[in-house]
Amino acid sequence: MSVLDNVDAATNLAKNNELQLLVFRINDKKDSAYYAINVFKTREVVESKNHFLTQIPSANPLLEGTIMLRGLQIPILDLPTWLGSTLSKEDVKKSNILICDFNGVIIGLRIMSAFRVIKKNWNEMHAPDSYRLKENGVVMNDTRLEDGSLCLILDYEKLLADVLPQAMVDVFADTNNLLKLDIPASLKNGTVLIAEDSRTAQRHLIQIFENANIDMKLFNDGQKLVDYIFSLGEAAKDIPAIVTDIEMPEMSGFTVIKTLKANPITKDIPIIVNSSMTGDNNKREAEVLGADSFIDKTKSHNIIPLIISVMK
């Protein structure tokens, strides 16, 4: 039985501010760290030895090549090297490939072994300031396994931006068209609030809003966003729009939506989900909870026109 066989429905988890993580290791060393990824970004784990790797000339050094899997050509990213670890030729033969789906971009991550699937509440996910001190940090947050071991959640969007930048958002797309938009006064004079924990995604959003000459304020997780909004009291009604990721420590985007839509002061503020969790279940759950719209992170350059459309 595959380690990914027992996975709960995304909607059930969302209602309880929970997530499921696939825990894995990148080498067999005794002191090797544990890493994790949201199971809803994964498809399957395959044995490396069963798949021929075709190398790509002049590619990024972290792009090992591609494999064919059920008719799909899938790029394989060297996750151990990105994390400062080196696998021997024997290790590579024993290794596995974790097939993932980011915004419809299918990639394979080189790992040593998939450990197991665990369930966590988002308030058990923590993002110490130390992870954010370095501009090029690769860890976003962490949690603890049952035995107390630290398990690190990586900024996979940064890995994609480093290796496959063409798969990420083009922050300068339609810049000229942004300046031609009929921007409502409340948006022009207000500040859009954004909850996003990925430094890579934050940089993209900052550039997009700067291009549009619209003010925004960033929060590293959903709890900080909600706390700030409720600290405003009645003035929260003047917030022109809120943009939230789904996956965040302390409080998920789903819980952000549920909390704000249940409050009479904030229930009418437009909320847009900006996420790489683009499955139909997630879009449907966001809509059921009251989100006004949903946009894939790779299409974030369209977020300003989308905000304007939900404000009208």
Q: pLDDT tens digit string along 216-241?
A: 999 999 999 999 999 999 999 999 99
Residue 306, H or E segment: helix 303-311
46 falls in which pLDDT band (50, 70, 90)?
A: very high
3-state secondary structure labels for all residues of 247-298: CCCCCCHHHHHHHHHCCCCCCCCCEEEEECCCCHHHHHHHHHHCCCEEEEHH
Beta strand 18-25 with 113-121 is antiparallel
Q: Where are the domains of the chain?
A: 10-166, 175-311
pLDDT for the residue 7: 54
* SS3 state of residue 225: helix
Q: pLDDT tens digit string along 52-84?
A: 999 988 888 999 999 999 899 999 999 999 999
| Identical fold, 10-166 and 175-311 | no
CATH class of 10-166: mainly beta
Q: pLDDT tens digit string along 98-109?
A: 999 887 788 999
- Asked if residue 139 lies in contact with residue 157, where contact means CB atoms within 8 angstroms, the answer is no
Residue 133 pLDDT exceeds 60: no
Q: Which residues have CB under 8 Å from 128's CB, separation 6+?
A: 142
175-311 classified as CATH 3.40.50.2300: yes
Closest CA to 260 of 270, 250, 273: 270
